[in-house]
Amino acid sequence: MQTHSQPGGSEAIPLPTWSRRRFAGGLALAAGAQFAPAAAPLKRVAAIVTEYIHNSHADVLASRMIHSHSMDGKGSWPPGHGWPQLKLASVYVDQQHPKDTSAQLAKEHGFLLAPTIEQALTLGGHSLAVDGVLLIGEHGKYPLSETGQIMYPRRRFLEETVAVFRKSGRSVPVFSDKHLAWNWPDAKWMYDTTRELNVPFMAGSSLPCLWRHPAVEMKLGAHATEAVALSYGPMEAYGFHGLEALQCLVERRRGGESGVAAVQFMQGPEVWDEMRKGRFSQEVFQAAVDARENKARFKKTFIEQVKSPAAFFLEYRDGFKATMIHDFKDGHNEWIVAWGEDGKKEIPATTFWTQEARPLGHFAFLLQGIEKMIYSGRPTWPVERTLLTTGVLAAAFQSRQQDGRRLETPHLAIRYEPTFTWQEPPAPMPGRPLPGM
């Protein structure tokens, strides 16, 4: 499938330039917004989800509003901000899983379990009655596209949401979890529609917000020349995380983001041949490999362990290049990014660490960014980042479908300036086993 809707040229998309300050949870975000004081009514949120089960994205995001960031109802973490300043007012569940937890939670905590998206947003009334909307199109049984991507109903969720906005004559901030859509036309429609209606809109992964080992950030305006990312797991769900980890760093290079000119997917031992030929830097790749925290788990070298990797080759419009090496099997299980800078021998590299135990603390930082937007009416980070990573991911799947053909991507001439600066978050609280609370 090679049909694309084209954006209106490649001119820069104007974004507000805000000052920044640090707030609880370790995020340096746009200043000017005030969280509700403890005695004030909390902002009400409608969660529109594909399914709601223990440890699903619906659970680890929406349930934080009723169980606190420690996910045990105690509000003991993160320091000084254990409870989100948000009230879960309603939930719409698109598919009922046999182990659905939404009905029991609605009984225990008194939120509306709505039969339609419209009723979730109106709380059963006739007009918009919430202050923010979470769209969580992750998990559930949905068909695959011809390129092999899961056709989650993220566009439909937004279509029904903005229908309520139009009917009510006003809108509220919206966050869409993960990549915007499985295909470029839907993603671009979501972006264009929210801009048309002046909807404060964000999307994306938890990775840009979470812990980094070591705790490094690319300097704003850095003369970066190349980056290599390491990723693993299911190509769409986890490859997207790898792309977001990569993009949240490289968008800070000199000149800001100008978009991606071409994408190519490759899989097999020839990826290592391409490295030896100089398609991507062995030194930057090795810096990423050296940053692994699970090195002791494997006796062989990375290349010996990951014999048949996938590679995403990204050619940026300003000449910058990036390569993401993705392992489908079990030879690697971390998200890492390394990058080279012009004139510098040192090659920075960092591992993006996720807490793979309850309370899955990295989602706390994602929800704090969403909370900030709901109170300020301003996106905490640019949705253009996720528009770009969505387009890159879709192009990689198309390249794979076309036997690894290099695809030019003029539709990804997406210009933006970073509006988010990462700061090291507080240490995670001790984890609890995932199957239990």
What is the pLDDT at residue 75? 94
Token pair listed for 109: 């905590």
Residue 432's beta-bridge partner residues?
Answer: 358
Pairing state between β 260-267 and 310-316: antiparallel
* Preceding peptide of 115 cis, ω within 30°: no
Counting every residue written for the chain, the total comes to 437
Which positions of the chain have pLDDT values less than 50?
1-38
* Preceding peptide of 428 cis, ω within 30°: no
As its CATH architecture, domain 20-206+358-380 has 3-Layer(aba) Sandwich (3.40)
Distance, CA of 257 to CA of 348 (rounded, Å): 20
Count of beta carbons in the 10 Å neighbourhood of residue 400: 19
Which has the closest alpha carbon to 226: 278, 264, 179, 270?
Answer: 278
Which has the closest alpha carbon to 409: 421, 397, 422, 427?
Answer: 397
Question: What does the domain layout of the chain look like in residue ranges?
Answer: 20-206+358-380, 211-353
Token pair listed for 107: 């009984």
Contact (Cβ atoms closer than 8 angstroms) between residue 66 and residue 74 = no
What is the pLDDT at residue 327? 96
What is the pLDDT at residue 297? 79
Three-state secondary structure along the chain? CCCCCCCCCCCCCCCCCCCEEEECCCEEEECCCCCCCCCCCCEEEEEEECCCCCCCHHHHHHCHHHHCCCCCCCCCCCCCCCCCCEEEEEEEECCCCCCCCHHHHHHHHCCEEECCHHHHHHCCCCCCCCCEEEEECCCCCCCECCCCCECCCHHHHHHHHHHHHHHHCCCCCEEEEECCCCCHHHHHHHHHHHHHCCCCEEEECCHHHCEEECCCCCCCCECEEEEEEEEECCCCHHHHHHHHHHHHHHCCECCCECCEEEEEEEECCHHHHHHHCCCCCHHHHHHHHHCCCCHHHCCCCHHHHCCCCEEEEEEECCCCEEEEEEECCCCCCCEEEEEEECCCCCCCEEEEECCCCECCCHHHHHHHHHHHHHHHCCCCCCHHHHHHHHHHHHHHHHHHHCCCCCEECHHHCCCECCCCEECCCCCCCCCECCCCC
What is the pLDDT at residue 331? 86
310 CB contacts (<8 Å, ≥6 apart)?
235, 265, 266, 267, 271, 325, 326, 327, 328
Helices 154-168 and 184-196: crossing angle in degrees, nearest 10, is: 20
What is the pLDDT at residue 33? 33
Distance, CA of 279 to CA of 276 (rounded, Å): 8
Which has the closest alpha carbon to 418: 15, 11, 101, 2?
Answer: 15
* Start-to-end Cα distance in the chain: 43
Does 3.30.70 match the CATH number of domain 211-353?
Answer: no
What is the pLDDT at residue 22? 27
∠ CA 369-371-372, rounded to 5°: 65
Contact (Cβ atoms closer than 8 angstroms) between residue 175 and residue 138 = no
